[in-house]
């Protein structure tokens, strides 16, 4: 009965490769996010979708492309991976756009680019 699930948990790949991370939530939430946590543990938003529509696109390289086939899924595809992409990527969802709705996070995907 996992609320927000991400796969894979670990991803090790070489520079230049293309990889995807999948995220699914079974909470019935309308809004989903991708966050990146860097080596210093700082969490920064990358993208947000509301009902399959992109609503936040922070200054993220074009190599990162989110895709939301339906409101329960938000995948992240990364092209031409670089060493600096190594980080933990978190998917999250929330039930409302009100400021009192917490985000529910997946367990994260640790991406290592060698």
Partner 1 sequence: AQKITQTQPGMFVQEKEAVTLDCTYDTSDQSYGLFWYKQPSSGEMIFLIYQGSYDEQNATEGRYSLNFQKARKSANLVISASQLGDSAMYFCAMRDVMEYGNKLVFGAGTILRVKS
Angle (CA) 44-42-3 rounded to 5° is 65
Q: Any residues with CB less than 8 A from the CB of 61 and at least 6 apart, and which? A: none
Record the tokens describing residue 85, joined without a space. Answer: 């992409």
What is the CB neighbour count within 10 angstroms for residue 69?
9
Q: Which is nearer to partner 1, 75 or 109 (CB)?
A: 109
Number of residues binding to partner 1, judged by CB under 8 A: 28
Record the tokens describing residue 39, joined without a space. Answer: 């080596």
| Contact string (CB under 8 A) for partner 1, positions 8-47, x = contact | -----------------------x-x------xxxxxx--
Residue 69 sits in the site that holds partner 1 (CB under 8 A): no
Residues that bind partner 1 (CB under 8 A): 31, 33, 40-45, 48, 50, 55-56, 88, 90, 92, 94, 97-105, 107-108, 110
């Amino acid at each position: 009965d996992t609320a927000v699930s991400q796969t894979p948990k670990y991803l090790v790949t070489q520079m230049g490769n293309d990889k995807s991370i999948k995220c699914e939530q079974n909470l019935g939430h309308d809004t989903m996010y991708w966050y990146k946590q860097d080596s210093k543990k700082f969490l920064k938003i990358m993208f947000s979708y509301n009902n399959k529509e992109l609503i936040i696109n922070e200054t993220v390289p074009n190599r990162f492309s989110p895709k939301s086939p339906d409101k329960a899924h938000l995948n992240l595809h990364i092209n031409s991976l670089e060493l600096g992409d190594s980080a933990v990527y978190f998917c999250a969802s929330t039930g409302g756009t009100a400021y009192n709705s917490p985000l529910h996070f997946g367990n994260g995907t640790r991406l290592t680019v060698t």
